[in-house]
Chains A and B, each alone.
Chain A
Amino acid sequence: MTEATDLAERAGDRDPRIGLRAVAALRRLLEQLEAVQVRSARNQGWSWQEIAAELGVSRQAVHKKHGRQ
């Protein structure tokens, strides 16, 4: 790779859109992963309190978010 294209590519990386897009994608992935793990824990008989403690959130928060599944 020439120096010019290398520089151009690194300049492109500083485009805020790329970083923001990655954060949004990560958040979507996180939501799906959380749903999978919470469902799995519930199926294994975990209480909301136990799940909340592992996730580092309140019992009410986790129950409100996942309670209907």
Chain B
Amino acid sequence: MFERFTKDARAVVEGAVGHAEQAGAGQVEESHVLLALLDREGTRGSFALAALGLTPPRRQTVVRALDEARRRGGLSRADADALSDLGIDLSAVVSRIEETHGEGALAPAAKSGGWGRRPFSRGAKALLSQSLRTAVAHRDRHIGDEHLLLALTARPGTPAEVLADHGVTYDSLAKVLYGDGEARAAG
């Protein structure tokens, strides 16, 4: 599969590993792939983000939103809503834990693996396969960073929610990348 990745897509995958290392995370997660995508300029993915209003200077708000989600223990807003249906106020839980254990206590613990290559999480691996399917669905021969971006928005979870909050959804991306006609092509 990797031989079909463009130089830009490979750079994103490499960048995701770098973000995971920088964060001291034990695994490369989908959010690290998003952070790496936000770093890129002059690529198809970057063009699509900019076309939807996320020009490079504005991407910092996405980074902050991801940080916020991390502080909630990596639980997405949909998770928070589901818990609230059970009568559990996630933000109250987070504040109580932070009162006792310090700020960011609920953020997934960095398993200090030290050096060496970090494995991709199950979600991040699924994201890579999804990017392949997305490319195939659009009859693109190569997997570019735009396919990684499309795949991120097609999967449930925090990265897709944060992107949607900034107007970046599968449909809006497909529209700027492929035009109206193909906006509904399967991902």
A residues near B80, Cβ cutoff 8 Å: 25
In the complex, 17 of the A-B residue pairs with CB atoms within 8 angstroms, ordered by the A residue number, are: A22-B83, A22-B86, A26-B86, A26-B88, A28-B79, A29-B75, A29-B83, A32-B73, A32-B106, A32-B108, A33-B93, A33-B106, A36-B105, A39-B109, A40-B101, A68-B112, A69-B109
5 closest cross-chain pairs (CB), A and B: A32-B73, A25-B79, A22-B82, A25-B82, A21-B82
B111 interfacial by beta-carbon distance below 8 Å: yes
Instruction: Count A/B pairs, Cβ under 8 Å.
Output: 54
Task: Kindly state the interface size class of chain A when it binds its partner.
Answer: 10 to 19
- Give the number of chain B interface residues (Cβ < 8 Å): 21
Interface residues of B, Cβ cutoff 8 Å to A: 73-75, 78-80, 82-83, 85-86, 88, 90, 93, 97, 101, 105-106, 108-109, 111-112
Interface residues of A, Cβ cutoff 8 Å to B: 18, 21-22, 24-26, 28-29, 32-33, 35-36, 39-40, 68-69
Q: Closest CB-CB distance, B123 to chain A, in whole Å?
A: 12
